[in-house]
Amino acid sequence: MTDKKQEVYIIATGGTIDKIYSPSEQTTILSEKSSIPAYLENIAGVKAIYKFEQLMMIDSRDMTDAHRAKLLNAIKNVPSSNIVITHGTDTMVETALYIGENSTNLNKTIILTGSMVPMDGFTNSDAGFNLGHAIATAQQKEQGVFICMNGQVFDPRKTRKNISESRFESPP
Ligand code: ASP
């Protein structure tokens, strides 16, 4: 039987982690169907411990407060207390702050993660590493909203994306 504490509910919203290369468009585009379940099951061998929902599939530069309200509503309805949200990196901090500011007594551990390079079809992707770190953190961390990127667990109030270095950091 699955240990309840190990269960993680993953909500996909899009971002580079779910982009794929389109040969006809000669660029990366958002995949219609998230790559995450196939990665977890076929590559990482993760099966029993997760549930998955593709809530939206957008570039996070297009994420509005209406999208964030929809996400928050989904979070509130999730039966699990361990939640991983996959999200574009450009506005990941804004969404994490929105969730933190607009929720009280959620009693859930909410981890946002994403990647700088798409999960599917790119051997140099950081996606699998970040997703694994986010899942492990959701299983263990106390309740609250956090960002898992680059092997670090960030407080969204104290982090930013460093665009020129393609990584998240805590500003001094
Ligand atoms: N433009 C993408 C997004 O924020 C960038 C990324 O995910 O790294 O959705």
Q: For residue 18, which of 101, 110, 130 has the smallest C-alpha distance?
A: 130
Instruction: Indicate if ligand 1 lies below 6 Å from the C-beta of 59.
Output: yes
Between the CA of 136 and the centroid of ligand 1 the distance, in Å, is 23
Fold entry, domain 8-158? Rossmann fold (3.40.50)
**Interval 63-80: pLDDT, tens:** 999 999 999 999 999 999
Using the mean position of ligand 1's atoms as its centre, give its distance from the Cα of residue 63 in Å.
10
Ligand 1: which of 16, 20, 120, 163 to mutate, judged by most atoms within 8 Å of the beta carbon? 16
Domain layout of the chain by residue ranges:
8-158
Q: Is 61 in the pocket of ligand 1 (CB under 6 A)?
A: yes
Largest CA distance in the chain: 48
> Is the CB of residue 88 below 6 angstroms from any atom belonging to ligand 1?
yes
Q: What is the pLDDT of residue 104?
A: 85
Closest ligand 1 atom, CA of 16? 7
pLDDT reported for residue 1:
42
What does the buried/exposed string (b/e) look like for 63-76 if buried means 16 or more CB atoms within 10 Å of the residue's CB?
A: beeebbeebbebbe
Q: Please check the confidence at residue 12 and state whether its pLDDT lies above 90.
A: yes
- Average the pLDDT over 116-143 and give the result: 97
Q: Give the pLDDT confidence of 21-66 residue by residue, as tens digits.
A: 999 999 999 999 999 999 999 999 999 899 999 999 999 999 999 9
Per-residue confidence band for 3, with pLDDT thresholds at 50, 70 and 90: low
Angle CA 103–109–110, to nearest 5: 70
pLDDT of amino acid 4: 47
User: Higher model confidence: residue 2 or residue 149?
Assistant: 149
